[in-house]
Amino acid sequence: MAAHPSPSAAHNAPSVPPSSSGPSGLFKRFIDEVIVAPWGRIDAAYQGQRVGHVSARTAAFVTVVTTCLMLVFLRFVVMDRTVQAGFASTLCELGGLFGSDVRTLMYQYHRLMVNCSWVLGCVFCYFVVPGVVVRVVFGMTLADFYLKPRDYVRHLPIYGLLFLPVGLLILVFADSPDFAMQYPFYKDQQGWIDLLIWEAAYGVQFFALEFFFRGFVLRGLAAEMGSMAVLTMAIPYCMIHYGKPLPECLGSIIAGITLGVLAMDTRSIWGGVTIHVAVAWGMDFAALWKKGVLAHLG
């Protein structure tokens, strides 16, 4: 009669790990390495540390207050159409210092000046003020807040893969009325020159936005909150998309969390800047193409 293994022998027997081959095994490995592991690494890297000259809790307090104030200023000043128009007219008048022809030319592109005034306001709220807080209050460098292009090229394929489904969605929704009403953001193109000037300025705005949400907010909260800083950041990031088409607003939740985890894990915002600018330019040029504008630009 065969002897039954003792309980201790059964307990000490080596466990057989589940196979990592096959679709289910590969999916589990993807979940563990891409979704689960980064959160643990983030907690281990940041929680409990001081943020420059201040404690983790003080840094979190300063970060939240600065974020709220900048978003309020953005909403009630920068986004105010009267303020934008007045600032644009001031820029045009200042152009008169270089001659009446320059002032006339700038007024010819007044709508471009209006849009660029919005970009300048965003750069002030998203980059200048937070940058001053980083340097003066925290006593740290902007590179400490993920502005250094750390392993940018090595991580670029990840962002390329993330862009593929978004690019397909842009093509799918480009014919929708909501998309056509919202994009392109600059609608008074007189030629390729002013269009490309606008798109360059538009890209600068997204750099500032990425620094604010994926750099300043995350790094400022990380020591106190660890990986939960990502979820906290995703709330205001989603809210600034209110008024955009519903698919874009919903997509901002996924994008905010994904780009947040990647920024904290890689300690760089530049991959997020790249994909954000690519998506923004893609939506603008898809809308212009669908409307037949590109064929008529001089």
Tell whether 30 is covered by a domain. Answer: no
Q: Which domain holds residue 278?
A: 46-296
Q: pLDDT per residue over 62-86, tens digit each?
A: 999 999 999 999 999 999 999 999 9
Tell whether 247 is covered by a domain. Answer: yes
Domain count, the chain: 1
Tell whether 6 is covered by a domain. Answer: no
15: pLDDT strictly greater than 60: no
Per-residue exposure over 208-235, b if at least 16 CB sit within 10 Å of its own CB, e if not: bbbbbbbbbbbbbbbbbbbbebbebbbe
- When pLDDT is averaged across residues 277-298 and rounded to a whole number, the result is 88
- In this prediction the pTM is 0.86
Q: Which residues contact 70 (CB under 8 A, 6 or more apart)?
A: 125, 126, 129, 130, 212
Do 279 and 166 contact (CB within 8 A), yes or no? Answer: yes
8: pLDDT strictly greater than 90: no
- When pLDDT is averaged across residues 30-46 and rounded to a whole number, the result is 81
Tell whether 227 is covered by a domain. Answer: yes
> In whole angstroms, what is the distance from residue 20 CA to residue 34 CA?
15
Please provide the average confidence, as pLDDT, over all residues in the chain. 89
Tell whether 10 is covered by a domain. Answer: no
Tell whether 267 is covered by a domain. Answer: yes
Report the pLDDT value the prediction gives residue 161, as an integer from 0 to 100. Answer: 87
Tell whether 215 is covered by a domain. Answer: yes
Question: What are the C-alpha distances in Å from 191 to residues 109, 232, 296?
Answer: 11, 42, 8
Tell whether 7 is covered by a domain. Answer: no
135: pLDDT strictly greater than 80: yes
Report the pLDDT value the prediction gives residue 149, as an integer from 0 to 100. Answer: 86
